């Protein structure tokens, strides 16, 4: 019985240890290459407004692939596309601040 209890406790510790760790929403304040607050915000805005058509990984779907959109459009052009649409894409109801954060995040995709 003691061996079984010990095995359960060790197994639980391993599982909980594997689930813990880093904070995925951490911000980079010292410039060491980690995720910044704006990057996290851009991704969150994308997931809420764009992922349904452009794919969770930017690979496309009903909308085109956006994985290298920054090599085609500047952040200002992306803001314009968000607000006015392009091709089959309708104008999106995203406020100006969120559109700028999203456009800056997408413009980095090259």
Rg (CA), the chain: 20
CA 89 – CA 53 distance, rounded (Å): 10
In 3D, which of 68, 63, 75 has the Cα closest to residue 38?
75
User: 55 with 61: CB under 8 angstroms?
Assistant: yes
Was 54 annotated as part of a binding site?
yes
Q: How far is CA 49 from the centre of its chain?
A: 11
CA 15 – CA 100 distance, rounded (Å): 40
Was 1 annotated as part of a binding site?
no
Was 50 annotated as part of a binding site?
yes
Structure tokens at 13: 């510790």
Residue stretches of the annotated binding site: 50, 53-54, 89
Annotation: binding site for heme c:
50, 53-54, 89
């Amino acid at each position: 019985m003691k061996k079984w209890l010990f095995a359960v406790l060790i197994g639980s510790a391993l599982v909980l240890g594997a689930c813990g760790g880093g904070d995925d929403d951490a911000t980079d304040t010292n410039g060491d290459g980690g995720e910044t607050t704006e990057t996290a915000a851009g991704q969150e805005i994308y997931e809420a407004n764009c992922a349904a058509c452009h794919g969770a990984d930017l690979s496309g779907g009903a909308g085109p692939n956006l994985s290298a959109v920054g090599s085609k459009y500047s952040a200002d052009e992306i803001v314009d596309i968000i607000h006015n649409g392009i091709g089959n894409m309708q104008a999106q109801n995203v406020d100006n601040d969120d559109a700028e954060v999203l456009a800056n995040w997408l413009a980095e995709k090259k």
